[in-house]
């Protein structure tokens, strides 16, 4: 059974001539729930120009055009708030116009919103006051049906033996194109899930209704015909973003890996060692349009026994990211699967392999010279440059004072030394951590290809 939730846009019939302006008032901006869980498709059903005395082919053409413009304004303003070009796709709105000739054969299941046109409400109690309404179908379809009423409303004079009266009536002319667009614009706000914007001071509501004061929101529960005062306002866009989040209509959709320009590990195989920890170095970058400062890349690692582990790393300022995952004697041998997620974009799945211990030793065969420790201290304090420090490490490795498996060919060199390496080196130089921690850091630099022996 369909449950209809209706929201109507009313035109206030005001007889009060002098309404005082309030200096302070509170407002309520009603918000329902997000109506869309994917890119919505709006279908406008063209009315038959021969349906009644209000319509003609020219008028039908114009109201269809104005309806499309009204929906497009929502799309443009929602996209304008998006940070990147890719984010703009989160707020895309598909629009289909269904001409009279296609209405019997059209597949209406593709539509999330219907816009249709009637002269007057079927309920006579709604005559002269309701100029548009939205009916939301709860349940399986989740569609919103927008009905726009196009019969013009004016005041007709009548009299009795003593007085003249001016009462609302329907004229013999339709509402203007601007009036129709205003209704579509407002009702599509309801289709998004926005409710009404209402002041607790009815005098303020009436001033908005008369066009005597600009309403802060398109969703004010009124209608007036000053086009410049009946536009989508910043507060309406903010409310839509608060309702859907920055991922917009795609908040529940897993996006393809198009947001990742690269994603890989520096090596395909990592050997377990008895005394030191190997590090799987993970690098990549997202598209520059997608990059946002401060966001994290989140990884999901599936181990050989199908157990999953999650960890994260922060994005660097150039849309690149780097993370390390430790491999030690307790690590399972076999193939590991790795995926990355940034915002709502998911990477391709990559793999690496952990191999059995081959009885390699990374222990020092000689005592590390004092001058290396001095270099480490000076480097951690930025008194010597990276090159001077790296040359000292190369000396230790070449002389086999520390033994580290050289990096495999095909890895990337010339990358910056991570800050955590400098921090650990400084701690070792000041005897705050053991020598093994320093050696592990040097091992990482070699296996990540940051220290190259080419």
Model confidence over 360-385: pLDDT tens digits? 444 444 567 888 888 888 888 888 88
Q: How far apart are CA 357 and CA 276, in angstroms?
A: 11
Is residue 323 within 8 A of residue 314, CB to CB? The reply is no
Can you give the pLDDT at residue 360?
A: 47
Q: How far apart are CA 223 and CA 381, in angstroms?
A: 68
DSSP class per residue in 142-200: --EEEEEE-EEEEEEEEE-SS-EEEEEEEEEEEPPHHHHHHHHHHHHHHHHTEEEEEES
Is residue 440 within 8 A of residue 401, CB to CB? The reply is no
Q: Which residues of the chain carry a pLDDT beneath 50?
A: 1-5, 12-22, 360-365, 408-413
DSSP class per residue in 280-330: EEEEEEE-TTT--TT-EEEEEEE-TTS-EEEEEEEPPTTSEEEEEEEE-TT
Can you give the pLDDT at residue 192?
A: 95
Can you give the pLDDT at residue 7?
A: 57
Can you give the pLDDT at residue 454?
A: 57
Is residue 217 within 8 A of residue 233, CB to CB? The reply is yes
Structural tokens at position 274: 């008895």
Can you give the pLDDT at residue 11?
A: 56
Model confidence over 246-263: pLDDT tens digits? 889 988 776 666 788 899
Q: How far apart are CA 361 and CA 365, in angstroms?
A: 10
CA angle 83/84/85 to nearest 5° reads: 140
Structural tokens at position 115: 């816009």
Q: Which residue has the tokens 């989160």?
A: 90
Can you give the pLDDT at residue 42?
A: 95
- Considering just the CA atoms, what is the radius of gyration of the chain in Å? 34
Q: How far apart are CA 118 and CA 172, in angstroms?
A: 15
Can you give the pLDDT at residue 1?
A: 28
Which residues is 155 bridged to in the sheet? 168
Report phi then psi at 109, rounded to 5: -70, -15
Is residue 319 within 8 A of residue 287, CB to CB? The reply is yes
Is residue 218 within 8 A of residue 184, CB to CB? The reply is no
Give the list of residues 6+ apart from residue 29 with CB closer than 8 angstroms, or none. Answer: 194, 195, 196, 197, 217, 219, 235, 239
- Domains of the chain are 3-250 (3.40.390), 257-355 (2.60.40.1930), 370-447 (no CATH)
């Amino acid at each position: 059974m369909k449950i209809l939730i209706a929201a109507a846009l009313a035109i206030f019939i005001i007889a009060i001539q002098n309404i005082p302006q309030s200096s302070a008032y509170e407002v309520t901006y009603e918000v329902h729930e997000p109506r869309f869980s994917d890119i919505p498709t709006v279908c406008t059903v063209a009315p038959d120009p021969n349906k009644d005395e209000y319509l003609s082919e020219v008028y039908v053409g114009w109201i269809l055009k104005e309806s499309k413009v009204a929906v497009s304004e929502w799309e443009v303003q929602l996209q304008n708030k998006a940070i990147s070009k890719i984010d703009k796709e989160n707020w895309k709105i598909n629009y289909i116009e269904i001409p009279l000739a296609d209405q019997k054969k059209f597949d209406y299941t593709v539509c999330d919103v219907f816009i249709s046109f009637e002269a007057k409400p079927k309920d006579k109690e709604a005559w002269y006051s309701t100029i548009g309404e939205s009916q939301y179908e709860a349940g399986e379809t989740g569609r919103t049906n927008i009905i726009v009423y196009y019969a013009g409303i004016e005041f007709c004079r009548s009299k009795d033996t003593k007085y003249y009266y001016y009462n609302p009536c329907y004229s013999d002319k339709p509402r203007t194109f601007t009036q129709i667009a205003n209704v579509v614009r407002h009702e599509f706000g309801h289709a998004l899930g926005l409710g009404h914007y209402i002041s607790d001071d009815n005098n303020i509501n009436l001033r908005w209704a008369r066009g005597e004061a600009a309403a802060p929101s398109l969703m004010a529960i009124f209608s007036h015909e000053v086009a410049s005062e009946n536009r989508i306002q910043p507060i309406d866009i903010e409310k839509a973003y608060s309702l859907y989040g920055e991922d917009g209509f795609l908040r529940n959709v897993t996006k393809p890996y198009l947001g990742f320009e690269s994603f890989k590990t520096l090596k395909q195989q990592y050997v377990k060692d008895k005394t030191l920890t190997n590090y799987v170095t993970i690098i990549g970058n997202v598209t520059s349009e997608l990059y946002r400062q401060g966001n994290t890349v989140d990884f999901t690692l599936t181990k050989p026994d199908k157990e999953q582990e999650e960890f994260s790393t922060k994005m660097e300022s150039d849309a690149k990211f780097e993370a390390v995952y430790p491999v030690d004697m307790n690590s399972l041998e076999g193939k590991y699967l790795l995926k990355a997620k940034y915002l709502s974009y998911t990477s391709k799945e990559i793999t690496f392999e952990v191999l059995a211990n081959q009885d390699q030793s990374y222990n020092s065969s000689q005592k590390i010279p004092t001058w290396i420790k001095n270099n480490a201290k000076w480097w951690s304090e930025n008194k010597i440059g990276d090159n001077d420090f790296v040359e000292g490490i190369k000396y230790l490795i070449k002389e086999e004072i520390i033994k580290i498996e050289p990096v495999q060919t095909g890895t990337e060199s010339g990358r910056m030394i991570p800050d955590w390496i400098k921090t650990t080196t400084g701690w070792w130089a000041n005897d705050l951590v053991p020598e093994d921690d320093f050696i592990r850091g040097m091992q990482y630099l070699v296996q990540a290809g940051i220290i190259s022996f080419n």
